[in-house]
């Protein structure tokens, strides 16, 4: 296993711009999760996929956030019209099935200036 891969690792953007993060899960992992973590806090659930189906989405996600996993493999998380409050680390994780170990990627750090 090569691990969960996230890209880019760091992103600085101006307020109002759109950003997109990509996550490549471990091969054959059906479940894919997105979390957001700010400094000193625990990760907050954003959304999860079972294969290509987005099964749940947090109320934390406003209309500015969207996630896709079009072929049940990699996933993208897009944030439109970024705000300073979006500055955080965005974490992607995957697992084979519920109840299996969940593996996290290294995270994508977003700074909105």
Partner 1 sequence: ELKVEQNPLFLSMQEGKNYTIYCNYSTTSDRLYWYRQDPGKSLESLFVLLSNGAVKQEGRLMASLDTKARLSTLHITAAVHDLSATYFCQCAGGTSYGKLTFGQGTILTVHP
Where does this chain bind partner 1 (CB under 8 A)? 31, 33, 35, 41-45, 48, 50, 55-56, 58, 91, 93, 98-107
Least distance in Å: CB of 43 to partner 1? 5
Least distance in Å: CB of 87 to partner 1? 15
CB of 46 within 8 A of CB of 36?
yes
Query: Between residues 30 and 80, which has the closer beta carbon with respect to partner 1?
Result: 30
DSSP string over the chain? ----EEE-SEEEE-TT--EEEEEE--TT--EEEEEEE-TTS--EEEEEEETTEEEEE-TT--TTEEEE-TTSS-EEEEE-S--GGG-EEEEEEEESSTTSPPEE---EEEEE-
Query: Between residues 31 and 69, which has the closer beta carbon with respect to partner 1?
Result: 31
CA distance 84 to 112: 5
Query: Between residues 58 and 80, which has the closer beta carbon with respect to partner 1?
Result: 58
Least distance in Å: CB of 76 to partner 1? 19
Least distance in Å: CB of 99 to partner 1? 6
Query: Between residues 10 and 15, which has the closer beta carbon with respect to partner 1?
Result: 10
């Amino acid at each position: 296993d090569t691990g969960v891969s996230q890209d880019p690792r760091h992103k600085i953007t101006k307020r109002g711009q759109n950003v997109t993060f990509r996550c490549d899960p471990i091969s054959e992992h059906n479940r894919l999760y997105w979390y957001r973590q700010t400094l000193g806090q625990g990760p907050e659930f954003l959304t999860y996929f079972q294969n290509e189906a987005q099964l749940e989405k947090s109320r934390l996600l406003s209309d500015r956030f969207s996630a896709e996993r079009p072929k049940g493999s990699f996933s993208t998380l897009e944030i439109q019209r970024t705000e300073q409050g979006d500055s955080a680390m965005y974490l992607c994780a995957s697992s084979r099935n519920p109840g299996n170990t969940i593996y996290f990627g290294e995270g994508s750090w977003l700074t909105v200036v």
